[in-house]
């Protein structure tokens, strides 16, 4: 038993981070693949993933060196709004099966969730790689572009949930 404890406590931090990345990637694939089939979701549960994505993007924004620059926040908010509008245009004609007794909607299957989750992973990987390899590359305009890209994905996911919620309450 001490042997296993020594292995776990002596594991370098890089290995744990790599393990975390693989677990996250597996979860993203699992969630995205599960969304390919139609699924019934309780209405408030529609907002779990968008809130996590938005929270992570805001947390990433707060870690930026130029966080207090109003330009960073403006680019983030503008891209969230743009993502929400694009999402509304894309999902407004989606046919949902609405069950008012259980307050749930049956979403059609599709690859959108998989692409969105993998897009988030790829964007975070790209920006973290660029920051590690070329830290001087991150000027204010590049940081604004970085926050805008994460804001766009947050807006897309939040807009999708808001569109489906709107359709739930709009239908009689």
Most trustworthy range by pLDDT among 3-7, 68-72, 166-170: 166-170
Q: What is the pLDDT of residue 56?
A: 82
Torsion sign (Cα): 136, 140, 146, 147: positive
Q: CA-to-CA distance for 81 and 75, rounded, in angstroms?
A: 10
Q: What is the pLDDT of residue 122?
A: 82
Q: pLDDT tens-digit profile of 65-96?
A: 665 678 888 999 999 999 999 999 999 998 88
Is 11 a residue whose pLDDT tops 80? no
Q: What is the pLDDT of residue 68?
A: 63
Mean pLDDT, the chain, rounded, equals: 83
- Residue pair 163/91 in contact by the 8 Å Cβ criterion: yes
Query: Distance between terminal CA atoms of the chain?
Result: 62
- Residue pair 38/106 in contact by the 8 Å Cβ criterion: yes
Is 109 a residue whose pLDDT tops 70? yes
Count CA atoms within 13 Å of residue 55 on its CB side: 6
Concatenating the DSSP letter of every residue in 110-165 gives -SHHHHHHHHHHHHHHHHHHHHHH-GGG--HHHHHHHHHHHHHHHHHHHHHHHHHH
Beta bridge partner(s), residue 42: 104
Q: Is 91 helix (H, G, I), strand (E, B) or coil?
A: helix
Mean pLDDT value across residues 107-114: 86
- Residue pair 158/54 in contact by the 8 Å Cβ criterion: yes
Q: What confidence tier does 18 reach under pLDDT thresholds 50, 70, 90? A: low
Mean pLDDT value across residues 131-160: 86
Q: What pTM was computed for the model?
A: 0.80
Q: What confidence tier does 16 reach under pLDDT thresholds 50, 70, 90? A: low
Q: What is the pLDDT of residue 161?
A: 94
Q: What is the pLDDT of residue 86?
A: 96
Q: What confidence tier does 172 reach under pLDDT thresholds 50, 70, 90? A: low
Most trustworthy range by pLDDT among 17-26, 123-132, 151-160: 151-160
Count CA atoms within 13 Å of residue 17 on its CB side: 4
For the stretch 23-28, contacts whose Cβ atoms lie closer than 8 Å and that sit 24 or more positions apart, written own/partner, are: 24/121, 25/121, 28/117, 28/118, 28/120, 28/121
């Amino acid at each position: 038993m001490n042997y296993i404890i020594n292995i776990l406590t002596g594991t370098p931090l890089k290995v744990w981070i790599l393990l975390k990345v693989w677990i996250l990637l597996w979860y993203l694939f699992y969630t995205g693949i599960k969304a390919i089939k139609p699924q019934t979701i309780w209405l408030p549960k529609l907002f779990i993933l968008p809130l996590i994505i938005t929270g992570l993007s805001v947390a990433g924004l707060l870690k930026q060196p130029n966080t207090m620059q109003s330009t960073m926040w403006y680019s983030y908010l503008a891209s969230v709004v743009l993502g929400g509008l694009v999402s509304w245009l894309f999902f407004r004609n989606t046919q949902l099966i609405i069950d008012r007794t259980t307050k749930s909607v049956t979403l059609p299957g599709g690859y959108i969730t998989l692409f969105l989750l993998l897009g988030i992973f790829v964007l975070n990987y790209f920006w973290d790689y660029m920051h590690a390899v070329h830290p001087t590359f991150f000027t204010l305009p590049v940081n604004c572009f970085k926050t805008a890209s994460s804001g766009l994905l947050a807006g897309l996911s939040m807009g999708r949930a808001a569109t489906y919620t709107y359709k739930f309450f709009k239908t009689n």
